[in-house]
Amino acid sequence: MAYDKSIAAFEEAYKVIPGGVDSPVRAFSGVEGTPPFIERGEGGYLFDIDGNRYIDYVQSWGPLIFGHCDAEIEASVIEAVKRGLSFGAPTIVETELATEIVTLFDSIDKVRFVSSGTEAVMSAIRLARGVTGRDNILKFTGCYHGHSDSLLVQAGSGLATFGTPSSPGVPADLTRHTLLATYNDIASVSACFEKSPEGIACVIIEPIAGNMGLVPADEAFLEELRCLCTNHGALLIFDEVMSGFRASLKGAQGISTVKPDMVTLGKVIGAGMPVGAFGASAEIMAHLSPEGPVYQAGTLSGNPVAMAAGLTSLKKLKSNPSLYVALGTKAKKLMDGFQHAADAAGLPFVTDVRGSMFGFFFSDKPVKNFDDALANDSDTFAKFHKGMLDRGVYLACSSYETGFICAATTDEMIDESIKTAYEVMAEITT
Ligand SMILES: *Cc1c(COP(=O)(O)O)cnc(C)c1O
């Protein structure tokens, strides 16, 4: 495949945008080559400015569960645009989307919309601190919760790829309130509670981690985590910005029986428009301004165009109950195919699937936490990524990311991807 136009575009971008990209993971730093510049998408396909076509398993890093240019979502967005882009005043569509979410999630009585996952989590943490009157929070190594200061500690994917455990510019005074535990290791959580006589405001977790590769939490671990939080008066936050409407219609909460105190959402909730949300019981949410003293705001929060996209997408998801089974079947087929290709080439390989989310590691042991993930063979991944890209299969450009199936991903696309994986795996072992 030729990438001449993309290479030139990347050079131009580099002159005026740091690293040539507006989010670090897009820069292809962990893999070979430079990023294709995208011209357009269509269903399950992506087209770059050199005219190359790719089967898209990134889907804007999760949001596009109906693929690119879904006709109904597109129509609702255009209709909303014609009425005005933003008002900074209440609109009915916010209540409609909120009602859909509240009906879907037992753990949510009230929800507030923001413009990104980062903002959703940042606001949820502030609310948890405000409600409990405690400063300390607990997160897990390898889990990513957006780039706000308190949470930028040992945070997976982009940071794992770049080998930056935390970032300059984040005051140590802030991160000293962020305790770190090991994913799927309850003893490490107990130890944190013991070390914190002043108490912990909240424990935040991706119940299905998607930012250190796909690493689901064990059900028993989540149950014990719920108990520890309840016993210590800490709020349990499920960060479902990625897993929400992806692992199942109710995210991890459609799979696990464990109930969090607060939930953060993003990605699919905006269907490709900038939307995030955080929700909890009416009692917890009553602490939020203007009902309560915890301040949080946003000029473009609940933006009517973004809300229209989200509402149409959610209604489509709800009206198609068998969709997640179909997406899960395709994800499993793809991962089984990759596994057979790796086995045939003699490459150590492990996979996992949760609904429309899939993940794989070039690793000879199951991955349960961030250390396991870091032990993957990222050089082999880089070669695999390049080989797949050159043959028209667009996978996330880091071994610490999750892949996605969308409603527009066909069985033919899966078959073609598997066939390609056989070729590439055979090539990189010779
Ligand atoms: C993507 C993601 C975020 C951050 O969302 P942005 O919209 O990129 O700010 C937070 N938490 C999780 C689990 C995510 O996957």
Per-residue model confidence as pLDDT tens digits over 30-89: 899 999 999 999 999 999 999 999 999 999 999 999 999 999 999 999 999 999 999 999
Per-residue pLDDT band at 164 (split at 50, 70, 90): very low
pTM over 0.85: yes
Give CA–CA dist 143/211, Å, rounded. Answer: 6
The whole-number average pLDDT for the span 216-236 is 98
Q: Write the single-letter amino acid at 326.
A: A
Angle (nearest 5°) at CA 184 between 183 and 188: 70
The string of pLDDT tens digits covering residues 273-303 is 999 999 999 999 999 999 999 999 999 999 9
The whole-number average pLDDT for the span 194-214 is 96
- Which of 79, 115, 134, 58 lies closest to 270, judged by CA? 115
pLDDT over 70 percentage in the chain: 97
Say if CB 262 and CB 280 are below 8 A apart. yes
Residue 84: burial class (beta carbons within 10 Å; 0-12, 13-18, 19+): exposed
Give CA–CA dist 367/361, Å, rounded. Answer: 8
Residues of 204-225 as b/e, b for ≥16 C-beta within 10 angstroms? bbbbbbbbbbbbbbeeebbebb
Give CA–CA dist 113/277, Å, rounded. Answer: 4
User: So what's the pLDDT on residue 162?
Assistant: 46
The whole-number average pLDDT for the span 326-337 is 98
Per-residue pLDDT band at 150 (split at 50, 70, 90): confident
CA of 206 to the centre of ligand 1 (A): 10
φ/ψ of 344, rounded to 5, equals -60, -35
**Tokens at 189, concatenated:** 């959580």
- Where are the chain's structural domains? 4-69+322-428, 72-318
User: So what's the pLDDT on residue 159?
Assistant: 54
Say if CB 28 and CB 20 are below 8 A apart. no
User: So what's the pLDDT on residue 155?
Assistant: 62
Residue-averaged pLDDT of the chain? 95
User: So what's the pLDDT on residue 167?
Assistant: 77
Give CA–CA dist 146/395, Å, rounded. Answer: 21
- Is the model's pLDDT at 416 over the cut of 80? yes
- Is the model's pLDDT at 215 over the cut of 70? yes
- Is the model's pLDDT at 170 over the cut of 90? no
Q: Which fold has domain 4-69+322-428?
A: Aspartate Aminotransferase, domain 1 (3.90.1150)
Give CA–CA dist 209/240, Å, rounded. Answer: 9
Upstream peptide bond of 274 is cis (omega within 30 degrees of 0)? no
Return left, alpha or beta for 231; rule: phi > 0 is left, psi -120 to 50 is alpha, else beta: alpha
**Tokens at 10, concatenated:** 């990347």
Q: Which of 59, 140, 211 to mutate to test the pocket of ligand 1 (most atoms within 8 A of CB)?
A: 211
**Tokens at 168, concatenated:** 């300059």
**Tokens at 240, concatenated:** 């479902």
User: So what's the pLDDT on residue 158?
Assistant: 55
235-239/208-209 β-pairing: unpaired
Give CA–CA dist 398/222, Å, rounded. Answer: 27
H-run or E-run covering 305: helix 304-318
Active site residue 54: no
CB-ligand 1 contact for 242 (6 Å cutoff): yes
Looking at the structure, give the CATH architecture of the domain made up of residues 72-318: 3-Layer(aba) Sandwich (3.40)
SS3 of residue 237 by DSSP:
strand
User: So what's the pLDDT on residue 37?
Assistant: 98
Say if CB 203 and CB 236 are below 8 A apart. yes
Give CA–CA dist 186/206, Å, rounded. Answer: 15
Segments of 163-247 assigned E as strands: 178-181, 202-205, 208-209, 215-216, 235-239
CB-ligand 1 contact for 130 (6 Å cutoff): no
CB-ligand 1 contact for 401 (6 Å cutoff): no
Give the full edge-to-edge strand order of the sheet including 38-42: 38-42, 45-48, 53-56, 393-394
The owner of tokens 């005219």 is 51
Active site residue 135: no
Residue with CA at minimum distance from ligand 1 atom 5: 117
The whole-number average pLDDT for the span 362-390 is 97
CA of 185 to the centre of ligand 1 (A): 23
pLDDT over 90 percentage in the chain: 90
| DSSP 8-state code for residue 102 | H
Say if CB 224 and CB 159 are below 8 A apart. no
The whole-number average pLDDT for the span 377-392 is 97
When comparing pLDDT for 248 and 158, which is higher?
248
**Tokens at 181, concatenated:** 């535990």
Give CA–CA dist 241/120, Å, rounded. Answer: 9
Give CA–CA dist 367/214, Å, rounded. Answer: 9
- Is the model's pLDDT at 157 over the cut of 70? no
235-239/262-265 β-pairing: parallel
The whole-number average pLDDT for the span 123-151 is 94
Say if CB 151 and CB 213 are below 8 A apart. no
CB-ligand 1 contact for 248 (6 Å cutoff): no
Q: Write the single-letter amino acid at 382.
A: A
When comparing pLDDT for 195 and 275, which is higher?
275
Per-residue pLDDT band at 163 (split at 50, 70, 90): very low
The whole-number average pLDDT for the span 106-112 is 98
Catalytic residue among 144, 183, 394, 400: 144
Per mean pLDDT, which range of 171-175, 242-246, 297-301 is the poorest? 171-175
Give CA–CA dist 7/5, Å, rounded. Answer: 5
Active site residue 82: no
Residue with CA at minimum distance from ligand 1 atom 15: 242
CB-ligand 1 contact for 206 (6 Å cutoff): yes
